[in-house]
């Protein structure tokens, strides 16, 4: 099989171990070829390839008797040594063989078929996304009428309409919104623009551009002028929570939310994965993700023309990831309590809402004071 092929026949042998010294050499050569021909920055790709080639010339410690996962780990250690690109990863494609999936129910099969036929998603991915609620893992309203939306993954934007519409319907009456990206490792490059569009007025403003070496083309993402369901709008405050694990497409969203001035970023500096690309075949059961595109911001402001590769997105309010929720919630309560107190309602419910908001604020402040004094280190949200 040649390097240019991206798939193997269904009958191809899928060994648990590498098999022979020649197989190891073939894997390394395939990686080198992809780096030299497809890596987004040619000079960087050539340098990484040269490092692999030099290591392979008598120094490579990889035995053909190693398992594929162990070989992948060793290769990734070497790639990390040669490059700061966190997208550049070797993966083993054996999960389906070692852990076969159970047959889906008839209802789930109908959902999968709809996603495959009408929305263009691959069947395996469509089922996985449905089982993960399309990345939306939590939606709720906190005391003080502050919305909370946790998104741990960005599937293709064509899959997200119903899910995002339902989430923003629940959040539509809140006085502020916290969007949690602390556990989001990325996904589709268009979905962050859809999420941001719910927080902005209708427009087609450009967000980020990507230059792909393999196609020699530049594509520019835009906000969506029409979104499924209700927009949250541009008038209420938004806080985005980040961690050192916030990566790739999650950084795309965070970067644009910050560049547009639409949200306050709270937490840790993000991971720094600003390039996109594709999985390339290197072995019947191994692929490598090759970043083939560089990215830069298009929104007007100080971040226009910049990107987050290798540096991440810096928070506006720096704190640990564990503290970020309480920091953002406190900021939200400081906005919402005056609004609740001055609201036109006169029922017992108004007093209840104000009292619960004040109690939450007091608890957060007491926990922060105790933590500063070294007595506790557990955020209110985690208690």
pLDDT value, residue 343: 80
Residue-wise pLDDT tens digits, 242-258: 999 999 999 999 999 99
Lowest model confidence (mean pLDDT) among 10-19, 37-46, 237-246: 10-19
Convert the pLDDT of each residue in 69-110 to its tens digit: 888 998 999 999 999 999 999 999 865 444 444 544 555 444
Write 316-320 long-range contacts (CB < 8 A, 24+): 316/258, 316/264, 316/265, 316/266, 317/264, 317/265, 317/266, 317/267, 318/267, 318/268, 318/269, 319/266, 319/267, 319/268, 320/267, 320/268
What's residue 374's pLDDT?
Answer: 78
* Average pLDDT of the residues in 331-358: 89
In CATH, what is the architecture of 136-273+308-323?
Alpha-Beta Complex (3.90)
Which of 55-69, 114-128, 315-329 has the largest mean confidence? 315-329
Domain boundaries, the chain: 136-273+308-323, 337-382
Is the pLDDT reported for residue 5 higher than 60? Answer: no
* pLDDT for the residue numbered 253: 97
pTM: 0.82
Task: Quickly state the pLDDT bin for 115 (edges 50, 70, 90).
Answer: very low
CA distance 305 to 220: 12
**DSSP 3-state assignment of 206?**
strand
pLDDT of 13:
45
Report, as an integer, the average pLDDT of 315-342. Answer: 96
3-state helix, strand, coil in the chain (%, to 5): 40, 20, 40
- pLDDT-based confidence at residue 285 (cuts at 50, 70, 90): confident
**In the prediction, which pLDDT does 325 show?**
97
pLDDT at 305: 92
Q: Name residue, tokens 């109908």.
A: 110
**Tens of pLDDT, residues 258-281:** 999 999 999 999 999 999 999 999
Query: What's the confidence (pLDDT) of residue 196?
Result: 96
Cα distance between residue 190 and residue 220, in whole Å: 10
Q: Quickly count: other Cβ atoms within 10 Å of residue 1's Cβ.
A: 13
- Where b means 16+ CB within 10 Å and e means fewer, 348-370 reads eeeeebbeebbebbeebeebbee
pLDDT at 206 over 60: yes
pLDDT given for residue 349 in this prediction: 84
Please tell me the predicted confidence (pLDDT) of residue 6: 39
- What value, to the nearest 5°, has the Cα angle with vertex 161 and ends 170 and 226? 95
Question: Which pLDDT band, with edges at 50, 70 and 90, does 47 fall under?
Answer: very high
Tens-place pLDDT, residues 119-134: 444 445 566 766 778 8
Average pLDDT over residues 54-66: 61
Q: What is the pLDDT of residue 168?
A: 97
User: Which pLDDT score, from 0 to 100, does residue 97 have?
Assistant: 40
pLDDT grade for 37, boundaries at 50, 70 and 90: very high
Mean pLDDT throughout 343-367?
88
Question: Is residue 378 pLDDT above 70, yes or no?
Answer: no
pLDDT average, residue stretch 330-359: 90
Mean pLDDT of the chain: 84
User: Which tokens belong to 379?
Assistant: 């955020």
- Mean pLDDT value of segment 5-14: 40
Does pLDDT of 372 surpass 50? yes
pLDDT value at 333 more than 90:
yes
């Amino acid at each position: 099989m040649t390097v240019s092929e991206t798939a193997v026949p269904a009958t191809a042998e899928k060994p648990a171990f590498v098999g022979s010294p020649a197989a190891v050499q073939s894997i390394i050569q395939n990686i080198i070829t992809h780096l030299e021909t497809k890596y987004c920055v040619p000079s960087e790709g050539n340098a990484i390839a040269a490092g692999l080639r030099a290591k392979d010339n008598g120094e490579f410690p990889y035995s053909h008797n190693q398992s594929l996962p162990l070989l992948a780990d060793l290769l990734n250690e070497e790639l990390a040594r040669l490059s700061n690109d966190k997208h550049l990863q070797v993966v083993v494609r054996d999960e389906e063989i070692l852990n076969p999936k159970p047959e889906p129910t008839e209802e789930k099969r109908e959902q999968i078929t709809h996603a495959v036929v009408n929305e263009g998603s691959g069947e395996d991915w469509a089922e996985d996304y449905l089982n993960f609620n399309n990345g939306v893992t939590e939606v709720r309203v906190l005391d003080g009428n502050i919305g909370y939306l946790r998104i741990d993954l960005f599937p293709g934007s064509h899959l997200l309409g119903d899910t995002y519409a339902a989430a923003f319907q629940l959040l539509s009456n809140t006085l502020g919104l916290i969007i949690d990206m602390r556990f989001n490792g990325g996904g589709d490059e268009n979905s962050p623009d859809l999420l941001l569009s719910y927080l902005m007025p209708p427009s087609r403003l450009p967000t980020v551009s990507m230059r792909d070496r393999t196609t020699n083309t530049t594509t520019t993402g835009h906000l969506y002028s029409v979104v499924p369901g209700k927009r949250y709008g541009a008038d209420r405050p938004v806080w985005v929570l980040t961690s050192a694990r916030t990566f790739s497409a999650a950084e795309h969203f965070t970067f644009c939310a910050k560049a547009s001035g639409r949200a306050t970023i709270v937490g840790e500096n993000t991971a720094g994965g600003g390039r996109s690309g594709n999985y390339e075949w290197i072995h019947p059961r191994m692929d490598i993700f090759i970043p083939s595109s560089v990215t830069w911001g298009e929104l007007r402001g100080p971040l226009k023309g910049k990107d987050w590769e290798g540096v991440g997105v810096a928070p506006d309010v720096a704190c640990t990831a564990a503290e970020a929720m309480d920091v953002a919630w406190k900021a939200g309560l400081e906005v919402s309590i005056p609004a609740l107190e001055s609201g036109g309602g006169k029922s017992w419910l108004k007093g209840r809402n104000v009292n619960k908001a004040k109690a939450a604020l007091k608890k957060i402040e007491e926990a922060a004071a105790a933590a500063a004094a070294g007595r506790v280190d557990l955020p209110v949200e985690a208690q």
